[in-house]
A = this chain, B = another copy of it.
Amino acid sequence: MTKRVGSQTLALDRQPSILEGASVAGTKEGQGPLGRSFDYVCQDAYFGESSWEKAESAMLRTCFDLACDKAKTAPSELDFILSGDLLNQCAGSAYALRGLTPPYLGLYGACSTMAESLLLASLLIDGGCGKRVAALTSSHFCSAERQFRFPLEYGSVRTPTSQWTVTGAGTLILGDEGPGPYITHVTPGRIVDAGITDANNMGAAMAPAACDTLRAHFADTGRTPAYYDAIITGDLGLLGRDIVRELLGMEGLDLGAAYTDCGVLIYDSAAQGTCSGGSGCGCSASVLAGHILRCLREGVWGRVLFAATGALMSPTTTLQGESIPGICHALAIEKERC
């Protein structure tokens, strides 16, 4: 039985295993520092389709199929599929996954979706609701730009604080038994709004939520940052990462050298012109299913705290002058059950 620890964390009983992961990325991501960690880098931003939205669905479906293949699991053997994305009405996921046999639970956690889907998948397995569950998500630079910002054809100028939406997808297949790594603890986050209104500074808007969840995780579990070999937030980018480090440091919580961010890792921002780094659901998803999973499997890391972050605004709320609420869900992923 899952056990509550402290105010916000759940210690898992069965501690589900990550059976397999698959990651798909676009050309720019393939040229970045983690290029070799992706299972598939597509040279065609349209993924063979006729629109950016259809491209995103095709990419996510490719990623899902790859993960099932690698896990030697037919889609029909899954007990649940949990997915969501940034497109209006989460259409990227629904169109990618329609017609499949397993029950589908649609999620909206903005760029925190990989952590939210993984967290719920873990809890469903821990509660006996399933033996195999898929958690996945995606984002596409071109569909995100035209929906959240400007049509690509405008060639609009970017601010230094802005982030680059990752064209990428990640899928993890979780099982009740398996060789690990294991999900041992989850800390679901709450909505934190620090009053940031600059839609070109998502790192600053999401950092307070990341601080809130990390603080809760360490307080609830009694662990210190030193327990983890890597503490990795979702897509705060260079600026957001520095804000988290500074804010928690002021409270005496030093994240140390193990702390980094998927949005920092995925691009060489100075060389690739991605300003403050990567963002989007596909950022933390493709880095987790690729780089992080590989490091855990190869023994580079034994214990990772994965804390994906999301900004819950919409273009409409921004136009109406609203501030940007953030959220962050954290999962402890460990090589050994504890």
**Are A104 and B189 in touch, CB under 8 angstroms?**
yes
**Are B191 and A98 in touch, CB under 8 angstroms?**
yes
Query: What is the oligomeric copy number?
Result: 2
For the complex, give the distance between the alpha carbons of A80 and B190 in Å. Answer: 9
**Are B313 and A99 in touch, CB under 8 angstroms?**
no
CB < 8 Å neighbour of A88 from B54, B126, B128, B314: B314
Q: Interface extent on A, as a size class?
A: 35 or more
For the complex, give the distance between the alpha carbons of A307 and B91 in Å. Answer: 22
A103 at the interface (CB under 8 A from B): yes
**Are B129 and A4 in touch, CB under 8 angstroms?**
yes
Contacts of A53 in B (CB 8 A): 316-317, 320
Contacts of A3 in B (CB 8 A): 128
A109 at the interface (CB under 8 A from B): yes
A124 at the interface (CB under 8 A from B): yes
**Are B188 and A105 in touch, CB under 8 angstroms?**
yes
A231 at the interface (CB under 8 A from B): no
The proximity string for A residues 43-74 relative to B, scoring 1 for CB distances below 8 Å and 0 otherwise, is 00000001101100000000000000000000
**Are A91 and B312 in touch, CB under 8 angstroms?**
yes
**Are B317 and A103 in touch, CB under 8 angstroms?**
no
A302 at the interface (CB under 8 A from B): no
**Are B129 and A191 in touch, CB under 8 angstroms?**
no
A8 at the interface (CB under 8 A from B): yes
Residue of B nearest to A213 (CB): B103
A315 at the interface (CB under 8 A from B): yes
A95-B322 contact in complex given A86-B89, A313-B89, A314-B87, C-beta closer than 8 Å: yes
**Other A-B pairs, 11, CB within 8 Å; known A84-B108, A95-B325, A98-B193:** A1-B1, A1-B128, A2-B129, A4-B130, A89-B312, A91-B314, A94-B191, A99-B192, A101-B190, A106-B109, A107-B107
A residues in contact (CB < 8 Å) with B:
1-4, 8, 10, 50-51, 53-54, 79-80, 84, 86-91, 94-95, 97-110, 116, 120, 123-124, 126-130, 188-193, 312-317, 320, 322, 325, 327, 329
